Each structure stands twice: as structure tokens, then as C-alpha cells.
Amino acid sequence: MVDANLGRLLSNRYQLVELIGRGAMGRVYRAEDTLLGGVVAVKFLAQTLLNRKMRDRFKTEATTCAQLGQKSIHIVRVMDYGVNEEEVPFYVMEYLQGESLSDIINNQPMAVLRFLSLARQICLGLQCAHEGIRIDNQVCPVIHRDIKPSNILVSQDASLGELVKILDFGISKMLQADGAGTTSYMGTLAYSSPEQMEGKELDARSDIYSLGVMMYEMLTGKMPLQAETHSFGSWYKAHHFQPPRAFGVFNLTQKLPNGLEELVMRCLEKSPHDRPQSIHDVLKALTPLEQYYSGNRQLSKDIGERLAKEVSSGVRTVKPTPKSNDSSSSSEDVCRLSSWPKNKPIAQIVFPQILTSSQGKLATLWVMLQEEEIETLKAYRLYNKVYKNFLCSMAPHPMVLWLTAVYNRFHHIEKGPRWLRCYLDLKDPLGHEMLRLLSTQGEYQVLFFALEKPQNCAHVITVKLPMAQCNLMQEWVITSRNWHSIGEPTMSKNMLQAEFEKLKPKVSAELETQSTKSSLNLSDVER
């Protein structure tokens, strides 16, 4: 049967090309945006659900995803809403290509490192929803109510690798101060919390239970609970009275860290009070595990590369050291060979620069200061305290304020920290690439040049970035790629500058305190 929608032009803009999905709630088409170009997805409400209640719910879903999609790259982004000639509502969202998490699991356990990466991204999306959206000047947390593998899409991104998107907020619930309680069950039986099956008013802890079921399935390929039949009554009994199966009953090929097993089991507690109380608590438990496994994998890779070089060169024994130390040292060596650009003035300025070497690209920050200050930073480097931060504003124009502050009590005690500031315009190829390098490399080098001797680099400091900051910057990289600027870059710069002025006094005081404590500790060591 020929689909009459194919080829149709919606809102004089979206041309329907192909039916890519259908379900009880409606159909999804791949479409071309004839106004701005590119491919989008268009979702229609099913003809059988064209009553007022379902129309309102459909519009709420579009509104929710539109707001949440602007805040997180881990939630499908909605860009437009409308009604066609037959009065059937539709909304336009980003076109996603990838695999459903349910297809990826397919009864197979997932490697721990991959699990940690995907679970973190799912949590970031859920955290964004639970933080809420603004409705009638009130911030309302959004509870998804249907977290399960088929509502998680995993796509491939050129910058980040695997990128997670949470789909289908069709039965999500906004928590409002004057909102009425939930009086009927909605959800998916195998993933629903005990309180959800009772039709109670839900909070974030219900989504955490569903997340626990899904995480268990990701790690084992199996479900934590087994209902006698696929009926509401059987699943009600399982979720309320059946304890989750221990991880040890499965003959897993990989050993799971105890902390991870404990986290999943806590998420599966029957009482909401016994679970993690927020997604932030779940992320807090996942982050150190991901850092540990990522570090071990990198170290194993480095040792393998060293052994391969030894075999090819005939050398049999070399004591391996972690790459993190080697890479920073070699990067600093490359930076020390740099010369001040001829197109830059001899003045106290700060600017970002991508430095290309035989090792690849480096994210660097170049600064020119008086020689006396640089010599102090070199001579008393143990007293150097460095603050680093990145402030971002996507609207009206995608812009990042890159902040670095250096404080040394032997030079800055009267004037305060040396602030090194620059902006990264995320619609400019250089700014976009710089942020990508920062987020993937997890560090940057600050190159100091002396006003009195400007030709060669006088000093280099390597600044390490925490994983949480890198993950956030990766989100900005992705979000800015398809973000449409609605104002001048200077407007975003002014907003970020105002935020910096609020932050500045507190940071200055903290750096001074840290430097004083460090000085006292070093004095004790010297004695």
C-alpha cells in the first residue's frame, strides 16, 4: 500500500521522504528541511489517538523535548511543532542514526568500560530531565517513567565516539507544586518501579529503579527479576517481593567491581528511601570507576606499544611509565621550542593557539608577561596555584570563556592572581577545534613569553582538566555544531564576562588560602 504522506510538504518546509518507524502512538518519517537544508525526523500522532487528551500529551512531549534538548545532548532535540491539513499534530526533531540499546544488549553482557561510558551518558540525560524545565515561571522536574533499553539510542559521533540519546518522553510526568497525583499505571512492566505499579505520584527515584533494571541487563544480558507470566499481576509481585538475582549466579567472563554491583543493587531497592536519592548520587559512584578503567586501558595500550617498539628495535628491557607523565613532558618540550608569532604585538596579551607537532595537535594558551613575573613562577614553582574553568553560553551565540588564573605568593600577594582569559567562538572552526582538543586531551599547556625577550618561550605550565569538565565540554562541542546563532557574539561575551566578575573574588580568595597552606606545609618539610 502506497503511503500518501510520502512526498508531502509540511509547513511549506519539511518534505517527507521515508517512513522510518511506527508504533501505537504514531509514525515517524525521515524528511528534508527545504528551508535550512539537512535531514530531520517528523513524528505524527496516530489517527486513532486524535482526542483532546492525547493531543495535549503529544504537545507536552514536544515542548518537554524542545527544552531538554537545548540543555543536554543526551536527549533527543525537538525543533518545531505543527498541525497538517487533516488537523493531525506533528513535531520535528533531529534525525538520529544508530542502534537501540536493546539491540546492543541482545542477551549479551557489555564490557565494563563501555557500560560505564554509556551509563554515564544516560545519567547525564536523566539528570537534565530531573533538574526540570520552566513552565509558567515555575521549574518543574521531569520524570521519564519509561526508561528501558528500547528508549535509548546509541549513535556514532566523530568527536565523542558512542553518543547516547534518551528517546520517547511521551508518558513523562512534570512535577508541579499543585499537580494532581498519578491515578493509573503507565510504563513498561519489566522496568517499572514498585511505586509506579501502584499508580502513586512518582519522583526521580522511580526512574533510578528503572535505570537499575537496565544497568543490570547491560552488565549481565539478563533481567534481575523473573515474572511467572507477562501479566500486570505477575510483574507487580516480582517488583514488590522478589529479590534481584545476585550477579554471581551468572557465569560472566569479566569480573565486575564490587562497587558497581553494589550501586546497581541499591538502585533496585524496593523502597525509594533505600535507593540513591538522585541521579547525581549515581554519577558520583560511576565516575571514579570510569576513571580507573579508562586509566588501566590507556596504560595497557602504552605498554603494548612500548613492547612492540622494543621488539622491532631489538631492545629487550625498558621500564614502562604511564603515558600521562610522558605526554605532558614531551608536550612541554615541544612548547619550549616555540617562537612568538610575528603577527602578534609585543604586549601583555593572551590568546589560544593550536600547536602542531610530530605528535599531533596540542591545545595551548599563549601569554606575554614581564620577565620578573615569569622568573618567579619558575623559581618558586612549588608555590604556584592554578585555577582553570570554562564558562559557556549557547544563546544568543555559542561562546566559551576560557579562564586560567595563576597565583604565586612571592609575586601576586598584593595584586592578586594573574588572570589569563580568552574566548572560544564555537561557530568559528578554530574555537570549535580548540574546545574539541581540550575535551579529548584532558590538558593544555600555558606558554609564557617575556616582554623583554619576546622571541622564545620562557616557561611552560601543563594544566590538567578533570574528567567531569572534559565530559561537559564534549557536550558543548556536539551541541554547538547544529546550534543556530540568534544574536551577536559580543552579546554572549558580555554575559560570560558578567559571570566571571561574580566568580572572580571567590576564586582569588581560595587561591590565596591554598597558597598560604602550601607555603606552611613546605616550610614544615624544609625544617
CATH of the domain at 115: 1.10.510.10
**C-alpha R_g of the chain:** 27
Distance, in Å, from the CA atom of 84 to the CA atom of 15, rounded to the nearest integer, reads: 12
Domain boundary among 71, 95, 119: 95
pLDDT at 178: 47
pLDDT at 312: 53
Distance, in Å, from the CA atom of 105 to the CA atom of 247, rounded to the nearest integer, reads: 16
pLDDT at 458: 94
Whether residue 195 sits in one domain with residue 109: yes
Q: Name, in order, each residue with C-beta under 8 angstroms of 271's C-beta and a sequence gap of 6 or more.
A: none
Whether residue 315 sits in one domain with residue 343: no
pLDDT at 297: 53
146 belongs to the catalytic site: yes
In the chain, how many domains are there?
3
Would you say how long the chain is, in residues?
Answer: 527
Whether residue 265 sits in one domain with residue 166: yes
Whether residue 167 sits in one domain with residue 195: yes
Q: What is the mean pLDDT of each run of 10 residues along the chain (527 residues)?
A: 82 91 83 89 87 87 87 88 90 89 89 91 93 83 92 81 85 61 75 93 94 96 93 95 92 86 96 95 89 61 51 44 54 90 94 87 95 92 91 89 93 89 95 93 95 93 89 83 82 90 90 71 48
Whether residue 280 sits in one domain with residue 339: no
Let me know: does 366 contact 351? Beta carbons within 8 Å. yes
Let me know: does 166 contact 75? Beta carbons within 8 Å. yes
Whether residue 57 sits in one domain with residue 156: no
Distance, in Å, from the CA atom of 122 to the CA atom of 73, rounded to the nearest integer, reads: 10
User: Coil, strand or helix: which one is 278?
Assistant: coil
Domain boundary among 95, 126, 147: 95
Distance, in Å, from the CA atom of 87 to the CA atom of 143, rounded to the nearest integer, reads: 29
Let me know: does 29 contact 5? Beta carbons within 8 Å. yes
Question: Which residues constitute the domain of residue 51?
Answer: 1-95
Distance, in Å, from the CA atom of 459 to the CA atom of 172, rounded to the nearest integer, reads: 54
Of 442, 482, 471, the closest CA to residue 121 belongs to 471
Let me know: does 204 contact 125? Beta carbons within 8 Å. no
Whether residue 152 sits in one domain with residue 80: no
Distance, in Å, from the CA atom of 278 to the CA atom of 215, rounded to the nearest integer, reads: 16
User: Coil, strand or helix: which one is 83?
Assistant: strand
Whether residue 234 sits in one domain with residue 302: yes
pLDDT at 357: 78
pLDDT at 71: 83
Whether residue 353 sits in one domain with residue 289: no
Whether pTM > 0.85 for this model: the answer is no
Distance, in Å, from the CA atom of 375 to the CA atom of 453, rounded to the nearest integer, reads: 12
Distance, in Å, from the CA atom of 30 to the CA atom of 353, rounded to the nearest integer, reads: 40
Let me know: does 177 contact 138? Beta carbons within 8 Å. yes
Domain boundary among 95, 125, 152: 95
Distance, in Å, from the CA atom of 253 to the CA atom of 243, rounded to the nearest integer, reads: 24
Catalytic one of 56, 80, 103, 146: 146
For residue 14, with 0-12 CB atoms within 10 Å meaning exposed, 13-18 middle and 19 or more buried, which class applies?
buried
Distance, in Å, from the CA atom of 386 to the CA atom of 368, rounded to the nearest integer, reads: 17
* Torsion on CA atoms 106, 111, 114, 119, rounded to nearest 10: 70
Whether residue 360 sits in one domain with residue 309: no
pLDDT at 7: 86
Whether residue 340 sits in one domain with residue 313: no
Query: Residue-wise over 347-369: b if at least 16 C-beta within 10 A, else e?
Result: eeebebbebeeeeeebbbbbbbb
Whether residue 169 sits in one domain with residue 126: yes
